[in-house]
Structure 1
């Protein structure tokens, strides 16, 4: 359940307060005051068996006595009464309730968890939605609802704030009130028994009164719902989140390095980034970020130019830039020449551009015009320090005058000072020009823009086509099943490398020896030099017990090394059972970097992929990036770029650049391994050597357990449904491949539009389409497989000739369809076949209804819809549109997704 009946929360016709009171200082009295004084235009009814009237309004003894049906109820009664109250409200037709009452969790005085479940059971038959329990309440400024015990009613605005903490909600209210900051809605979620972040993101994404969404998150309950809703919302409007608990103190201990490195906060960070959200670390940043993003500035890159009349302020800005995602831009020769003509000879001749402490407004204007024309920077920070020989107001007017002709130019301003520049800042704000009090605040705002733009780009960037073959899944599965059959959880190095090899991840040739003498014989077969390592199920990390010996050049040296390993293990880990030794060739790749790649399992978001600098000190270095699978080429490369070792991989001095494609391919394959083998709980490839020749895994560790769910069911993002690939045969005998769409199909979609008759394109998009821009094509090819499905029909040549899709509502009740067949393929039955395939998929999903909008003049589509059993009626607004819909009977063998 997601957005169903949330309209009763945000747009109720009548409200009931159950537990209202006249007792001064009580929660019931505060809520009654807030409700009655907020200005709600509909009826507000109160329920309390001990009161005749509340705030001069007739009170009712019970919910059953209410004279009219209410859409929304606010419940502030003792915990043990809440399930009964919810049941009675549902019987009266109430569709949403805000439960203020606490003591529904573990450790509550009463049976908290039991009461919570009984409350949900009482609501379920009536589809009554519950916000809370244990929450501050709910405020909506448009309809003037204050169903909370907050101390303030916020000003009307267009920013929604959803908070897991009531105390944080009141703090934000206080902060915003002092600054005149308004909200569309404020929702305190409390214990999230029913309505959660995913539900509200789905609703607010389509809420016309909300321009941006702020979240205060302590925990996520349904990760997949959160990711689906978050990605949809972030595509529509800025979503900015502050997450409590950034430290790694709560991270679970794990057997693998990846398990130790992938702390919970790093995973949350990866989830927010993948959803296209912007994460900030402080409450002040939350409002700074929404103010910055709401100005409409969009950046093309991460380079900043600084224009200042004070050298010190410019230096502070450059210092603040260090450690952020941004960097200092360069000045082109043409820009240097342009600045020379408008600035005095003593200007800085570098970025920051210091125009001198006596710089008048015209100097600011001319220098800013030159910087805006420079392609070496993506944004400009204009700084002004008040002096006795300059007019701060005139300088600001000059900047504003120039920007009036260039709306949404990437310019940020910082007029330092207090009283003398307060009016200037207000003028900047009134003109939607971002303005800040200090250079570090301004640079932080620039960093927000860079991070947000990068996250948004990742949502829409088209990945390259796959360059490697499908893995040998059966071979890998055999290895894992055999290990589990023995009762073991840790694969040997030899077994782990066999799994990697099945996924075409290069591994060094490895042999197993039972004795030192056998290790010496195997080493001669492999060739010198060699490496020997201990095999023991009792040892997690071999180097910790002296279980690795390198660069051995003779059988005698190998035998001596094996005996030394046995002695070291006996000394450092007495009682550990040694099963033998692995012997492998010593790899000499002088330019290679030691990396780590692997997976860990997060209790909230499921499996995650980890990458970073490897070696024995991997946890000390802690250079790592975490990402949610599935990965593609774009996401894998971005993951690599987030690490410090990326600079070394790019090449330096006499070290050539490493093969980044090979590293990215390895990360993609690790993600696929996760999807195919749900038994894998942890995996380390450490070290993974990478240089200009590619990658090779020198060591690997895998931990497995019996699988409790299917491989992809544990993913926070539903991966590509590879099992739905098949062939279809048209009426004329032509055989086409049919498969779910992939992000890399974007060029194929563009080609379908390009090769189609303009009239056919107009029918598909319900209007003229002059071009097919990247963002539109990316949105149609990069879909959320949890809520959408699109099938592409592919000719033997590999070209896409048709596509059909459905987009389901958040409640999985109904879906809208769309279809397009390339013009030269029309009249061959392809459209009809695509429609039957997508309707069959909809039935298997459990959808009840599929609908679509069709132009009245599109007679072939209307006739086909009629043949398929669709009903038709006029569109709700446009007379040229017909709405077609079909009710779906469940499949004979029911199975949802």
Structure 2
């Protein structure tokens, strides 16, 4: 991950365009025309050995002839010439290049391009891209057909065609951009790099992404999480129907790559939309600053039909019609003609003027049962729509905490009203469904942002035989097998605290009859074949067998049926399972699989034999905690039945969520796991129990954590240290559930110590502040906490953290020890832990800004080898740093 030299792309002092041409309608001619015509203040130098001038500007025969060192190069020459040009540019001092050229399908040629750039730390955008546009900087290094307006939206697109389409669409609507970047094949600069840069770009208010694929998932997730906490990030994903790679389980058949991308976007706090129109609608709505508490919508309109359409849209997009209070309904009824029944939508009738709109809207806005109000107006000859718009604006301004959207229907009659709403920063839409969709985007965005800040409850460790299971999987692979038999799958689940029905594996019918006799009747008999996922479809399942003879007979029949229906399938034997009678239980499917971009994924949904037909599923990225697991469950349709509504059986959702968390832990512990599904997992008020599990393996590659798009908790960094007096302490990475203990540590510290650590007094140490300290990604940010051993082990006595830059070469640290724990060596131990961690990561420099009056911190830093000097812009602050290159 790196933003190195991206300033040469976004703010160059000189630009060279190689392949510039005078040939009409050629790419080189369009590039030159756009660059010369955009208003760039520095030199733009064309290179073409066959032309004396390009658009009345002297053309240079080669890179060597350039009179000025360019920061940015734009290259549009045949693909095979590009690596040499990049090498020449890098040697001259150029720091970034946009490769417009296509023809890099050959991996060897792409590598040659990267090899040419690497010695000079030169950044490459593309190849096969439209280019880069920055209206505020006067740069149009693209073959786009127009220069967009200047604005504060950044647009990053993997497709040049989509980029030019968006520019055209936005120009008509007066939408402006800070930057537009087409990244093409992403051989170097990718979406993650640009998110890192744009997150701190003061010219960019919001970031729009068009995504087709991901090159480095962990980089993207880390950058997206940081960017989404800073400003709105809205994304549209193309290629939405692609399935996960084929496998042997329901999981691989049910999950699509689009489900995985959606889970990743949600986890990072971004907002995903479906169309380009929604992309801009979402940005406009988010820009208002509205953050509704929930999805309850109240509708105020002067047309009953329009209100009904809006109510239908609320249901369509997953919202709820607000239940207005009796007091609210009574007040509204007193305003309208006698005999009118008032409900939501609130129909003010066609005669409604501005005064009536203002009165009704203030009443509805005051109702606590709504999270947002949609105000609508249909054109009539009886009442003036502009008057109603002015009244709506005035009422909205008097209610600063409102979430209010407007929809003035029609075209000619609505034009002036929409202009007034736009001038007053009140979102307005052409149709009811657009307005409701925009509101629900706000709800989704708020939910995703809240999930970033939630403190999850801890789940008790359930692993009873981790090492035994690891050995089992390795033994199976050593035997040349890749699928667990039922007994082995049962042992795996039991080791991770997932209940499973009493199951045994039999090689033939006689063994099955004997095992059934020992187990006790009745039993279920199922075929065991690594080639068959849907056993019941080939006659591979028999239930309620209550004698040895019936078991033996069923086994023989199964073999014949499977041989006829699936002659290609290899039969390994049978599973014998004690019948369970939980008639009111729901059948759920849970599973794990592997995505080509994001690695391990987890699924939950409605199970049973029709699981794939019903297609009810939610996908999540591990690692999971209980909060994330519950959120996944809540995204399934079947979960609506879990509360007992309509006579349906109640489900112990805590047990189901714990099952997902334990599957997540399996993925962390067992890198050999490729696919696993449990179908069905019976769920009712007494908990969960697995009836059937299918597990497939592959040889482990790399460490378990290296597969994950989101870094799991790094347990290997935990350490016990002995300090002064022999007292022992546990140093461990912080967890999200440490929030309460961290708040307690700060509350038990002296206010002066808090001021020295955070450079300002903090009177209220709330959830939001503490969540930012405890919810980290273990990749770009690491924090260690110190706990006592023996007594009060949940207490936090001190904490230290380091935040790495985008290049992961420098890190800024912070440290604090609880006031009553100073003088015991905890600060030194925590700092040494941070420095050791940084050195292991290859960080070259660790630094901090420290108040000059914080003499104890400065003394500790000197003891550890830091050097310091006064900060150039603030004499009250000391800048301290240490070079770690000698420690690596």
Q: TM-score range by the shorter chain?
A: over 0.9
In the alignment, is the contact (CA less than 8 A) between 2:235 and 2:271 conserved in 1? Answer: yes
Counterpart in the other structure of 1:15 = 15
- Secondary structure (helix, strand or coil) at the match of 1:322 reads helix
- Tell me whether 393-402 or 464-473 shows the greater mean CA deviation: 464-473
- Tell me whether 562-571 or 746-755 shows the greater mean CA deviation: 562-571
Structure 1, unmatched stretches of 5+, are 106-111, 893-897
State the distance in 2 between where 1:878 and 1:414 align: 52
Counterpart in the other structure of 1:113 = 107
Counterpart in the other structure of 2:51 = 51
Counterpart in the other structure of 1:840 = 836
State the distance in 1 between where 2:533 and 2:685 align: 31
State the distance in 2 between where 1:580 and 1:62 align: 73
Once the 2 structures are TM-superposed, how far is the Cα of residue 516 of structure 1 from its aligned partner?
3.4
Counterpart in the other structure of 1:108 = none
Deviations 1:254-300 (A, max 9, x none): 21100111111111111111111111111111111111111111111
Alignment of 1:245 with 2:239, yes or no, is yes
The match for 2:691 among 675, 698, 717 is 698
Alignment of 1:612 with 2:608, yes or no, is no
Q: Kindly tell me: are residues 890 and 257 of structure 1, through their superposed partners in 2, closer, same or farther at Cα, counting changes over 3 Å?
A: farther
State the distance in 2 between where 1:519 and 1:50 align: 84
Deviations 1:424-444 (A, max 9, x none): 111111111110011011011
In the alignment, is the contact (CA less than 8 A) between 1:347 and 1:356 conserved in 2? Answer: no
1:83-122 to structure 2, matched below 5 A, reads 83-105=83-105, 112-122=106-116
Alignment of 1:868 with 2:871, yes or no, is no
In the alignment, is the contact (CA less than 8 A) between 2:486 and 2:504 conserved in 1? Answer: no
* TM-score normalised by L of structure 2: 0.97
In the alignment, is the contact (CA less than 8 A) between 2:526 and 2:575 conserved in 1? Answer: yes
State the distance in 2 between where 1:572 and 1:190 align: 48
Counterpart in the other structure of 2:523 = 530
Once the 2 structures are TM-superposed, how far is the Cα of residue 37 of structure 1 from its aligned partner?
1.2
Counterpart in the other structure of 2:135 = 141
Counterpart in the other structure of 2:664 = 671
In the alignment, is the contact (CA less than 8 A) between 2:585 and 2:649 conserved in 1? Answer: no
1:338-353 to structure 2, matched below 5 A, reads 338-353=331-346
Once the 2 structures are TM-superposed, how far is the Cα of residue 160 of structure 1 from its aligned partner?
0.3
In the alignment, is the contact (CA less than 8 A) between 1:415 and 1:436 conserved in 2? Answer: yes
Once the 2 structures are TM-superposed, how far is the Cα of residue 408 of structure 1 from its aligned partner?
5.4
Once the 2 structures are TM-superposed, how far is the Cα of residue 626 of structure 1 from its aligned partner?
0.7
Once the 2 structures are TM-superposed, how far is the Cα of residue 621 of structure 1 from its aligned partner?
0.8
* TM-score normalised by L of structure 1: 0.96
- Secondary structure (helix, strand or coil) at the match of 1:591 reads coil
Counterpart in the other structure of 1:38 = 38
State the distance in 2 between where 1:341 and 1:765 align: 55
Once the 2 structures are TM-superposed, how far is the Cα of residue 59 of structure 1 from its aligned partner?
2.1
State the distance in 2 between where 1:153 and 1:874 align: 46
- Secondary structure (helix, strand or coil) at the match of 2:162 reads helix
State the distance in 2 between where 1:520 and 1:602 align: 41
- Secondary structure (helix, strand or coil) at the match of 2:388 reads helix
State the distance in 2 between where 1:127 and 1:348 align: 71
Counterpart in the other structure of 1:651 = 644
- Tell me whether 791-800 or 329-338 shows the greater mean CA deviation: 329-338
- Tell me whether 572-581 or 854-863 shows the greater mean CA deviation: 572-581
In the alignment, is the contact (CA less than 8 A) between 2:250 and 2:533 conserved in 1? Answer: no
- Tell me whether 285-294 or 732-741 shows the greater mean CA deviation: 732-741
- Tell me whether 876-885 or 858-867 shows the greater mean CA deviation: 876-885
- Secondary structure (helix, strand or coil) at the match of 1:134 reads coil
- Secondary structure (helix, strand or coil) at the match of 1:746 reads helix
1:70-219 to structure 2, matched below 5 A, reads 70-105=70-105, 112-219=106-213
Once the 2 structures are TM-superposed, how far is the Cα of residue 558 of structure 1 from its aligned partner?
2.7
1:348-367 to structure 2, matched below 5 A, reads 348-367=341-360
- Secondary structure (helix, strand or coil) at the match of 2:768 reads helix
Deviations 1:652-681 (A, max 9, x none): 233342010110110011111111111111
1:570-649 to structure 2, matched below 5 A, reads 570-574=563-567, 576-649=569-642
Alignment of 1:6 with 2:15, yes or no, is no
In the alignment, is the contact (CA less than 8 A) between 2:814 and 2:848 conserved in 1? Answer: yes
Once the 2 structures are TM-superposed, how far is the Cα of residue 890 of structure 1 from its aligned partner?
5.2
State the distance in 1 between where 2:704 and 2:341 align: 59
Counterpart in the other structure of 2:786 = 793
Alignment of 1:850 with 2:846, yes or no, is yes
State the distance in 1 between where 2:648 and 2:235 align: 40
- Secondary structure (helix, strand or coil) at the match of 2:42 reads coil
1:262-661 to structure 2, matched below 5 A, reads 262-407=255-400, 409-574=402-567, 576-661=569-654
- Secondary structure (helix, strand or coil) at the match of 2:724 reads coil
In the alignment, is the contact (CA less than 8 A) between 2:20 and 2:54 conserved in 1? Answer: yes
State the distance in 1 between where 2:461 and 2:586 align: 23
In the alignment, is the contact (CA less than 8 A) between 1:348 and 1:354 conserved in 2? Answer: no
In the alignment, is the contact (CA less than 8 A) between 2:298 and 2:373 conserved in 1? Answer: yes
- Secondary structure (helix, strand or coil) at the match of 1:519 reads helix
Once the 2 structures are TM-superposed, how far is the Cα of residue 557 of structure 1 from its aligned partner?
3.0
- Secondary structure (helix, strand or coil) at the match of 1:318 reads helix
Deviations 1:522-545 (A, max 9, x none): 334323322122233444432232
State the distance in 2 between where 1:17 and 1:693 align: 70
User: How well do the aligned residues superpose, as a CA RMSD in angstroms?
Assistant: 1.6
State the distance in 2 between where 1:23 and 1:572 align: 66
- Tell me whether 47-56 or 254-263 shows the greater mean CA deviation: 47-56
State the distance in 1 between where 2:463 and 2:492 align: 14
The match for 1:260 among 245, 253, 263 is 253
- Secondary structure (helix, strand or coil) at the match of 1:268 reads helix
In the alignment, is the contact (CA less than 8 A) between 2:622 and 2:710 conserved in 1? Answer: yes
Once the 2 structures are TM-superposed, how far is the Cα of residue 876 of structure 1 from its aligned partner?
4.0
In the alignment, is the contact (CA less than 8 A) between 1:157 and 1:182 conserved in 2? Answer: yes
- Tell me whether 82-91 or 341-350 shows the greater mean CA deviation: 341-350
Deviations 1:839-883 (A, max 9, x none): 110000110001111111111111111111111122243332211
State the distance in 2 between where 1:514 and 1:714 align: 35
In the alignment, is the contact (CA less than 8 A) between 2:281 and 2:438 conserved in 1? Answer: yes
Counterpart in the other structure of 1:778 = 771
Once the 2 structures are TM-superposed, how far is the Cα of residue 785 of structure 1 from its aligned partner?
0.9
In the alignment, is the contact (CA less than 8 A) between 1:475 and 1:499 conserved in 2? Answer: no
State the distance in 2 between where 1:815 and 1:345 align: 70
- Secondary structure (helix, strand or coil) at the match of 1:800 reads coil
In the alignment, is the contact (CA less than 8 A) between 2:248 and 2:530 conserved in 1? Answer: no
Once the 2 structures are TM-superposed, how far is the Cα of residue 17 of structure 1 from its aligned partner?
1.3
- Secondary structure (helix, strand or coil) at the match of 1:713 reads helix
Once the 2 structures are TM-superposed, how far is the Cα of residue 348 of structure 1 from its aligned partner?
4.2
Once the 2 structures are TM-superposed, how far is the Cα of residue 251 of structure 1 from its aligned partner?
4.6
In the alignment, is the contact (CA less than 8 A) between 2:486 and 2:505 conserved in 1? Answer: no
Deviations 1:130-164 (A, max 9, x none): 11111111001221111111111111100000111
Once the 2 structures are TM-superposed, how far is the Cα of residue 732 of structure 1 from its aligned partner?
2.6
Alignment of 1:722 with 2:721, yes or no, is no
In the alignment, is the contact (CA less than 8 A) between 1:325 and 1:451 conserved in 2? Answer: no
- Tell me whether 516-525 or 119-128 shows the greater mean CA deviation: 516-525
Counterpart in the other structure of 1:109 = none
State the distance in 2 between where 1:348 and 1:379 align: 22
Once the 2 structures are TM-superposed, how far is the Cα of residue 742 of structure 1 from its aligned partner?
0.6
Counterpart in the other structure of 2:219 = 225
State the distance in 2 between where 1:132 and 1:514 align: 57
Once the 2 structures are TM-superposed, how far is the Cα of residue 342 of structure 1 from its aligned partner?
3.6
Structure 2, unmatched stretches of 5+, are none
Once the 2 structures are TM-superposed, how far is the Cα of residue 817 of structure 1 from its aligned partner?
0.3
In the alignment, is the contact (CA less than 8 A) between 1:348 and 1:355 conserved in 2? Answer: no
State the distance in 2 between where 1:16 and 1:723 align: 50
Once the 2 structures are TM-superposed, how far is the Cα of residue 731 of structure 1 from its aligned partner?
1.1
- Tell me whether 533-542 or 825-834 shows the greater mean CA deviation: 533-542
In the alignment, is the contact (CA less than 8 A) between 2:324 and 2:367 conserved in 1? Answer: yes
State the distance in 1 between where 2:786 and 2:354 align: 61
